[in-house]
Amino acid sequence: MVKLLRVDHRLLHGQVVFSWCSQINPNCILVANDQVVNDDVRKAALRLGKPNDVKLVIKNITDSIEAINNGKTDKYDLMIVVNSIDDAVRLARGAEEIRSINLGGTKAKQGTHALSNMVYVTDEEEELLREVIKEGIEVFIQAVPSDPKKIMK
């Protein structure tokens, strides 16, 4: 069961991982990323950043969608972390079980504007989010569980 799909450009890191894990109690974290899956150094760093009692799986986006749709993840209370809005939208559109996207943190860079103090998007990304909202996917901004949930409309 997918408990959370989170966009965070840092993927796994202390404060967020532990605050979300204590709130939703996943027994597995899926890092869905097309680059990290082939980067042994980044995979090793991610393994160090996960809670001890939580399994970590690292897959590319296509394999992640397939695993969710084929029921391979059904036995887990799953937290999925991606580092881009595009990847989150691909997952949400590809895996019917995913009905919401948590925007936790995206980098401020040239060509982006703020949706919050932690979430920066391009015009194209904002339009993509508005499209999936129209498709029935909830999109919300919430850095940590103790922050108020801001639903995008």
The answer, yes or no, to whether residue 15 has pLDDT greater than 80, is: no
Residue 92 lies in domain = 2-143
Bridge partners of residue 120, in order along the sequence: 114
Which helix (H) or strand (E) segment is 90 a member of?
helix 85-94
Would you say residue 151 lies in a domain?
A: no
pLDDT in tens, 39-93: 999 999 999 888 889 999 999 999 999 999 999 999 999 999 999 999 999 999 9
Would you say residue 13 lies in a domain?
A: yes
Q: How many separate domains does the chain show? A: 1
Would you say residue 148 lies in a domain?
A: no
Would you say residue 152 lies in a domain?
A: no
Do 100 and 5 contact (CB within 8 A), yes or no?
yes
Alpha helix positions (H), the chain:
14-24, 40-48, 61-69, 85-94, 123-134
Residue 28 has a pLDDT of 97
